[in-house]
């Protein structure tokens, strides 16, 4: 538990859900948190709540798809605190529907936030961590980063890339004393399902059919931090994520066959 005390941590996507949970839990364990989000007001509320509870936090308005803004935040944080110990590249957005109904703009926005957002965070903080000789980059992937998942194909594409980026960089980074982990949660009860883009899908119908077993974002954050303490390469969060991952590895044919039911189910949610 002590490993986070007085440590400097940036969390992106900290205004809501898993990022908010991470910001609170890190501060509770004594870290100084920079809560960054495109929703600057939401980030301020989270930082304010942490301060009100006796923790140390400040807010930053940040669009992770903007490389120079991410670079600026990292430089400012390093200047203010003298170092950065943890970088949680967590911000993400969702999209659901049939690829046949999507356009390039749909793909681009998801890739810009979920993949380029992580790359921007890595490229900004990694050289600094190498100079420091320590640091831990924690990227938020997803269970869909570990196994195929139709109906959210651009999202799955970015999350599989984030898993590949993280697990591959990990071996390079360890030679410089820098750690890299990727968190792969299953279904977590957050705003992402109401804020995501539904392409030719009836939002209400889809929301009604969300799985009932969603984990709270606070519990998810605690599991992620436990994995960070253990320096796990892949932090799988939730039994559903674990099942997906293992089923796909052990029975890939059966897993892909079962994906047909997801395609059928989501097509039943089509609007119009």
Ligand X SMILES: NC(=O)c1ccc[n+]([C@@H]2O[C@H](COP(=O)([O-])OP(=O)(O)OC[C@H]3O[C@@H](n4cnc5c(N)ncnc54)[C@H](O)[C@@H]3O)[C@@H](O)[C@H]2O)c1
Catalytic residue list contains 155: yes
Looking at beta carbons only, is 90 or 160 nearer to ligand X?
A: 90
Q: Does 19 bind ligand X (CB under 6 A)?
A: yes
Looking at beta carbons only, is 13 or 97 nearer to ligand X?
A: 13
Question: Alpha-carbon distance 14 to 32, whole Å?
Answer: 14
Among 4, 126, 187, 248, binds ligand X (CB under 6 A): 187
Q: Where are the alpha helices (DSSP H) in the chain?
A: 17-28, 40-52, 67-81, 104-110, 117-132, 153-174, 192-195, 203-208, 217-229, 239-250, 252-267
Among 55, 121, 150, 185, binds ligand X (CB under 6 A): 185
Q: Does 44 bind ligand X (CB under 6 A)?
A: no
Whether the Cβ atoms of residue 112 and residue 159 lie closer than 8 Å to each other: no
Q: Does 198 bind ligand X (CB under 6 A)?
A: no
Question: Tokens 């999202």 label which residue?
Answer: 155
**Minimum distance of ligand X from residue 163's CB (angstroms):** 11
Question: Alpha-carbon distance 50 to 31, whole Å?
Answer: 11
Looking at beta carbons only, is 176 or 242 nearer to ligand X?
A: 242
Among 55, 92, 121, 227, binds ligand X (CB under 6 A): 92
Question: Alpha-carbon distance 237 to 234, whole Å?
Answer: 9
Question: Alpha-carbon distance 201 to 208, whole Å?
Answer: 12
Among 34, 74, 91, 153, binds ligand X (CB under 6 A): 91
Q: Does 65 bind ligand X (CB under 6 A)?
A: yes
Q: Does 95 bind ligand X (CB under 6 A)?
A: no
């Amino acid at each position: 538990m002590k490993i986070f005390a007085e440590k400097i941590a940036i969390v992106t996507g900290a205004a809501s859900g898993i990022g908010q949970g991470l910001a609170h839990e890190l501060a509770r364990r004594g870290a100084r948190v920079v809560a960054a989000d495109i929703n600057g007001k939401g980030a301020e509320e989270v930082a304010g709540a942490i301060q009100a509870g006796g923790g140390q936090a400040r807010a930053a308005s940040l669009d992770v798809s903007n490389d120079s803004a991410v670079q600026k935040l990292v430089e400012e944080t390093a200047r203010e605190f003298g170092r950065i110990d943890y970088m949680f590249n967590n911000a993400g957005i969702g999209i659901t529907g049939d690829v046949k109904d999507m356009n390039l703009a749909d793909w681009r926005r998801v890739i810009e936030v979920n993949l380029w957002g992580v790359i921007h965070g890595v490229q900004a903080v990694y050289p600094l961590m190498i100079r420091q000789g320590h640091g831990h980059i924690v990227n938020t992937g997803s269970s869909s980063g570990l196994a195929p998942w139709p109906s959210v194909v651009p999202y799955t594409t970015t999350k599989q890339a984030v898993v590949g980026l993280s697990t591959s960089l990990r071996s390079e980074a360890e030679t410089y004393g820098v750690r890299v982990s990727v968190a792969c949660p299953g279904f977590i009860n957050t705003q992402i399902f109401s804020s995501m883009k539904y392409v030719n899908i009836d939002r209400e119908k889809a929301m009604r059919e969300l799985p009932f077993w969603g984990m709270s974002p606070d519990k998810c954050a605690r599991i992620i931090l436990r994995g960070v303490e253990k320096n796990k390469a892949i932090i799988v969060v939730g039994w559903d994520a674990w099942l997906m991952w293992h089923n796909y590895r052990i029975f890939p044919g059966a897993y892909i066959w079962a994906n047909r039911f997801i395609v059928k189910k989501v097509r039943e949610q089509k609007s119009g």
